Structure 1
Amino acid sequence: MDKNYETLLHIKENQLIKAFEKNNMSCMVVKNKEELHHYLKNILIAQKKVAVGGSVTLTKLGVLDLIQESDVQFIDRYEEGLSDEQVYERLREGLLSDIFITSTNALTMDGCLYNVDGRGNRVSAMIFGPREVYVIAGLNKIFNNEQEAMTHIREYSAPANALRLNKKTPCTKLGSCQDCFSEGRICSSYVKLGYQGQKNRIHIIIIEENIGY
């Protein structure tokens, strides 16, 4: 990494950490997958109940595999052979987990998280329920302000996830959110998480890579 870029990156990371701490969320930076796994291994212990939000980031970083290998009770929404009703019940069970691990669609330099959700289980768990929430995000999810974050969500996150999930929505053809009324719409709930009344329930982990939507 170029030294000048690395210096600027560290300045921004320190600003981001302070902003999230001001909003009562902890924030840390890891360089790569190996550092992330080393950190997570210290919390994935003691038969804690663990649930996850749907996330390309978690899959690509091997977090799901790490959870399955750990000494935890994994509320596995992805287990093969589950009926739609069984998946729904596991999503509900995840709201009472000890640890909820997810990514975020966007985060801003003032220490806020921005997400759009279809069913709502991911944003619900981030807001209330699980005792601890760990949010893992790449550098590409960091934006200066709310407007930039929302533009990213509407023009990249939502269409990319709709394509990934094989949804027949206008955004998969036009490349940006159309505020549609399609049956397959996945952007039903827009949620901003700012200052938290419960200090350090939410933990932000920034990985120094571009990953996920």
Structure 2
Amino acid sequence: MDDHKRSYYRNLSQTLVKKFARRGIDALYCDTAAEAKDAVLELMPSGSSVTWGGSMSIEQAGILDAVREGNYNIIDRSDKGPGEDPRIMLSKQMMADYFLMSTNAFTRDGELVNIDGMGTRLCFLVAGPAHVIVVTSMNKMTRDVPSALQRIHDQATPPNCVRLNIPTPCAATGACGDCHGANTICCQEVITRHSREPHRITVVLVGEELGY
């Protein structure tokens, strides 16, 4: 990223931090993914219980690897035993100290906009874990909620369906098919316009592009 865009992101982040604060959400800015990883680790005290939702952003930033190597009580949803009721793992994640995720988009006024399939990522954004850390690159900012939803359908869902090998129309064509079949991952739309519990949600804005 060139110096001009980096300066732009730094200046914009100051405005966004104030917008998020008005909504009861903490926010901070990091130039790079490496800095974001360090910032996230600093937010979580040693010994904390940590879990996460599916996110290319936190993987690409090296955050999951760092958590696994750190002194944390990890609640990994992939550790669900064969035949185990999935609600058991969900209940463990619900009680975590920290939930890590990204956001599909956010507005310049500080709203988080997300779409999910089963809702097992977004349910923890809404309630449950004591703290939620949202790592998102600055390029996911949109003008408003409608444009955020459009961004998700056009830019986030198709590559995610390809990554997850989900046979949706958008995976095949690259364009949203407004599908309603069993395979669709666009089932739940969640707009976080305010955190009723102040400081529960922290958004880590990153100058480098991450995820979709």
Q: Who is 1:200 aligned against?
A: 199
Number of residue pairs matched? 212
Are 1:103 and 2:134 matched, yes or no? no
Counterpart AA for 2:202:
H
In the TM superposition, what is the alpha-carbon distance from 1:65 to its structure 2 partner?
Answer: 0.8
Give secondary structure in 2 for the equivalent of 1:78.
helix
Larger deviation, residues 108-117 vs 38-47: 38-47
Tell me the amino acid that sits aligned with residue 161 of structure 1: N
Counterpart-to-counterpart distance in 1, 2:41 and 2:179:
41
* Matched residue SS, 1:42: helix
For structure 1, which segment, 88-97 or 114-123, has the greater mean C-alpha deviation from structure 2 after superposition?
Answer: 88-97
Give the TM-score of the pair, scaled to structure 1: 0.91
Distance 1:124 1:102 in 2: 12
- Map of 1:31-70 to 2, 5 A cutoff? 31-70=31-70
| Cα offset, 1:129, TM superposition | 0.5
1:88: Cα distance to partner? 5.3
Tell me the equivalent position of 2:130.
131
In 2, are the aligned partners of 1:44 and 1:71 still within 8 Å (CA)?
no
Describe the superposition over 1:20-75 as per-residue Cα deviations: whole angstroms up to 9, x where unpaired: 01101001001113322322232333322111010011111111111111111110
- Which residue does the alignment assign to 1:73? 73
Structure 1 letter corresponding to 2:5: Y
Q: How far did 1:4 drift?
A: 4.1
SS of structure 1 residue aligned to 2:20 = helix
1:116 has 2:115 as partner: yes
Return the offset for 1:137. 0.4
Task: Write the distance in 2 (CA, Å) between the matches of 1:193 and 1:82.
Answer: 32
- State the distance in 2 between where 1:62 and 1:7 align: 24
8 Å contact from structure 1 (residues 45, 70) kept in 2: no
**Equivalent position of 1:18 in the other structure:** 18
Residues 23 and 64 (structure 1), Cα distance of their counterparts in 2 relative to 1, 3 Å cut: same
Aligned to 1:148: 147
Cα distance in 2 for partners of 1:202, 1:109 equals 17
| Contact persistence 2:26–2:201 (CA under 8 A) | yes
The Cα shift of 1:3 comes to 4.7
Q: What amino acid maps onto 1:134 in structure 2?
A: I
Asked if structure 2 preserves the Cα contact closer than 8 Å seen for 1:95 and 1:129, the reply is yes
Once the two structures are aligned, what percentage of the paired residues are identical?
A: 29
Aligned equivalents of 2:68 and 2:6: distance in 1? 34
TM-score normalised by structure 2 residue count: 0.92
RMSD after superposition: 1.8
Offset at residue 174 of structure 1 (A): 2.6
Aligned letter for 1:18? K
Tell me, which stretches of 5 or more residues in structure 1 are unaligned? none
CA contact (8 A) 1:98 1:132 kept: yes
Q: Is the 8 A contact 1:99 1:131 kept in 2?
A: yes
| Distance in 2, Cα, partners of 1:65 & 1:92 | 23
SS in structure 1 opposite 2:77?
A: coil
Alignment-mate amino acid for residue 75 of structure 1: I
- The 1:67–1:4 alpha-carbon spacing in structure 2 relative to 1, beyond 3 Å, is closer
Would you say the 8 A contact 1:44–1:70 is kept in 2?
Answer: no
